Amino acid sequence: MHSQLKNYLSEELKKIKDAGLFKYERIIESQQSAEIIVKGKKCLNFCANNYLGLSSHPELIKAAHQGIDNRGFGMSSVRFICGTQDIHKTLERKVADFLGMEDCILFSSCFDANGALFEPLMGEEDAIITDALNHASIIDGIRLSKAKRWIYNHGDMRDVEEIDPTTGKIGKGLERCLKEAQSCRFRLIATDGVFSMDGDIAKLDEICSLAEKYNAIVMVDDSHATGFMGKTGRGTHEYRGVMGKVDIITTTFGKALGGASGGCIAGPQEVIDWMRNKARPYLFSNTIPPAVVNATIRVMDILTQSTELRDKLEKNTKYFRQKMLAAGFDIIPGEHPIVPIMFGKYPDCSKLAVEFANRMLEEGKLIFNDLAFCSSILTLVSYSGSLISVTNPPWNLLFNLSSSFAIASGGLSEIKMTCLFSEYKALKVLKNSL
């Protein structure tokens, strides 16, 4: 490696480590589940996106084996040459029907789906209007397009342009952006359905009303909602009562829908046909392998037949939020299984969030997602600060977390943390409903 680049990277990595923000991988020595083995000991897992507990479900493992037995290991081709099997078309049909869309196209991930969508769909004479806190894959996908861009303040539907007191920068509401983009040929509003850092749910009802008023297209990345948000788990468009009004949905199979890999774009027939002919990740890379396709077909069947899994997740989410509040933690209110625990009121909060997550693993056999951010990023909360993002344990285990956590400040230059654990045991194991 070029010596200057190597030295530069070493110095920058040291800065990240010194700030306590270096990302280390925790090695799991078991299947993905509510209870996993890390460093030889059992831990409760509160940071996977395994919302419905399907990642290691025996029905999916069986279906994956059948996929390999009947259709082989891989495709060794892109879709339009000789990389499409009958099961790929079956999965596309089932996903489209589940989401209430005309058709669906598969990608190797939702990151790829978002990377594929904007460039062929929106040109120089068009406008993309995007939420300020959208996922990195939406941001990167939009960058590939030549369309004009507007960014609206997170969740702000208003017709305003004002200075954000936390950043000093001028920000706009969605309606103001739509007004400014009226001279463009097409206008597309892009938003996450659920924002994964703090679990807040997009105001799709208001977004769709504004889209109708200003003749705009609505695109939603529903990766953190498909399978469990809404009465039947269709996603945030069902949760907000706007099924039939959202034009394009991208989502993943790597979270609630089995947790392996794969993603898709679902929408009008013309949009999907256009993607099949113009979307570069579809045209120039292999699709999902047969094992994952067959297992995901089984997921769609399970979720179509019953809402039991999402109903249990909803119950567990309410229980966990209530208990965390009762224990004195500062969490952002909401209904989503993502539960942000805020540390912004403590000195050196970014390091504390990381240290807290590490100590929970060491002392309490709990594993959290230690997402630590600089205080300027989280402008949504009443005070800025760092957080630990917690995802509820999957549907099949309901735990009695009779734990108490004490955080003591030892002066401005040092924070000491103590985790005081009382009983920590499973209250009951819910029977497998399948």
User: What residues act catalytically?
Assistant: 196, 224, 255
Angle 366-370-375 (CA atoms, 0-180°, nearest 5)?
Answer: 145
Q: Give the helix/strand (H/E) hosting 207.
A: helix 204-213
Report whether 121 contacts 271 (CB < 8 A): yes
Coil, strand, or helix at residue 426? strand
Burial class of residue 256 in the structure, from the number of CB atoms within 10 Å of its CB (0-12 exposed, 13-18 middle, 19+ buried): buried
Cα–Cα nearest to 316, from 418, 426, 210:
426
Cα–Cα nearest to 224, from 52, 25, 77:
52
Cα–Cα nearest to 78, from 50, 49, 45, 112:
112
Q: What is the DSSP letter of 369?
A: B
Distance between first and last Cα of the chain? 53
Angle 382-386-392 (CA atoms, 0-180°, nearest 5)?
Answer: 95
Tokens of 321: 């939020």
CA distance 376 to 384: 6
Report whether 116 contacts 281 (CB < 8 A): yes
Burial class of residue 103 in the structure, from the number of CB atoms within 10 Å of its CB (0-12 exposed, 13-18 middle, 19+ buried): buried
Please, what sign has the CA dihedral across residues 62, 67, 68, 70?
Answer: positive
Residue written as token pair 């040092």: 414
Report whether 105 contacts 277 (CB < 8 A): no
The DSSP secondary structure of 245-282, one letter per residue, reads T--EEEEESSSSS-SSS-EEEEE-HHHHHHHHHH-HHH
Q: Give the distance, in angstroms, between the CA of residue 67 and the centroid of all CA atoms in the same chain.
A: 27
